[in-house]
Structures are given as structure tokens and as C-alpha cells.
Amino acid sequence: TLSVPKGKRKESQFEVIKHFYRFRKDITDLLLRDFGYSQKKAEKKMSKIFGGSPYEELSDNQKEHYNKTASRKFGFEEWFIGYQRDVIMDCIRNATEYIFIANSIYPSIPEELTERRIYQDKAIGQCYRLLQELQYTIEILPVDIQKYIKFTDSINKEINLLKGWRKADNKFKKQFKKDVK
């Protein structure tokens, strides 16, 4: 028998799971690092904004601006990062659940295929939700956007793998049609 060259092989549905584990681990690492937000960097940036002058030497207008900026930065640490961490973990937890439920269904009747597809669709939906939440986070937090490209690329790859798996399931439809004849 002839084998298909590795570069021309379709990804197996298990690649969906393998890739998901890798990107889940990477996202978890990002969350453990507070999305790349650094209080020290924020303080340095604030110092530059005010020309390195001590707070006491700032004008009343500058102090007011400094206080507003500082309270915003404090809000990042106080609640925003934790809140976004929970939202993103919720996306990942849901995607994990849907991927594994879909994978546990081996369709032997059309209804099982429909149920499996629903879970695949839900997993894709959670990946899109995850993309949106990361986008929102980088719009709010003063972080290096370039560092997020690998995460968005990874999530998009997972979405494409899930769609490929869903498309590969069309073989079951064909089989069910043969069985009816």
C-alpha cells in the first residue's frame, strides 16, 4: 500500500485535542502572569508621564490626573484581572467540556451525529468567545499587544481544527444514507 506523505495528510480529530491541551496550558500560563500586566512597568510609565517629578512637586491639575490614572491602574489589579481571568477560564472550561462530550459520542444513528455536531459547534462558539475576551482584555490593559498574536493564532488554529473535525464527520451522513438503502 502507498502511504500519504505527512504534509498532505489530514489532521486527525485527536489533533483537535492535542492542540487544545497545548493552547489551554499556554492560556493558563498567561493568566498566571496577570495577562502580562506589570505594576512596576505601569509605575515607570506614570513617572515618565509626569517627567519623573515626585508627587509633592506636581501641580494640582497634575495631581488630579495622577490620582485618576493611579486609581485606574489599581483597579486593574484589584478586580479587572481577576474578573477577566475567571471569564477566560470559564470559556476554556466550557470548550473542554464540549470537545470531550463531542468526542465521546460515536454516531451510530443520525440523532447521535446531530448531538455530536451541536457539541462541536458549542466548542467553536467558546473559542470565538475566548478570542473576544482576550481582545477586550488587551484593549483595557496596558500590555504588549504583539505578545498576544501567538494566542489568537493558536485559538484560530483550534477553531479550524474543530471545523475540520466537524466536516470529517460528514462520512457518517454518507454511511447512514447507505444503511437506509
Q: Give the pLDDT score at 180.
A: 61
Q: pLDDT tens digits for the chain (181 residues)?
A: 556 565 665 555 589 999 999 999 999 999 999 998 887 877 777 777 777 777 788 888 888 888 887 787 777 888 999 999 999 999 999 999 999 999 999 999 999 999 999 999 999 999 999 999 999 999 988 888 898 999 999 999 999 999 999 999 988 888 877 766 5
Give 54's DSSP letter. Answer: -
Q: Give the pLDDT score at 165.
A: 95
**Contacts with 87 (C-beta within 8 Å, 6 or more apart), sequence order:** 133
- What burial class does residue 116 get, using C-beta atoms within 10 Å of its C-beta: 0-12 exposed, 13-18 middle, 19+ buried? buried
CA-nearest of 132, 145, 151 to 37 is 145
Q: Give the pLDDT score at 77.
A: 81
Q: Give the pLDDT score at 85.
A: 96
Distances in Å between the Cα of 4 and the Cα atoms of 7, 8, 137, 164 are 8, 7, 43, 18
pLDDT in tens, 155-172: 999 999 999 999 999 888
**Contacts with 142 (C-beta within 8 Å, 6 or more apart), sequence order:** 37, 41, 42, 45
Cα–Cα distance between 15 and 23 in angstroms, integer? Answer: 12
Cα–Cα distance between 88 and 71 in angstroms, integer? Answer: 24
Q: Give the pLDDT score at 69.
A: 79
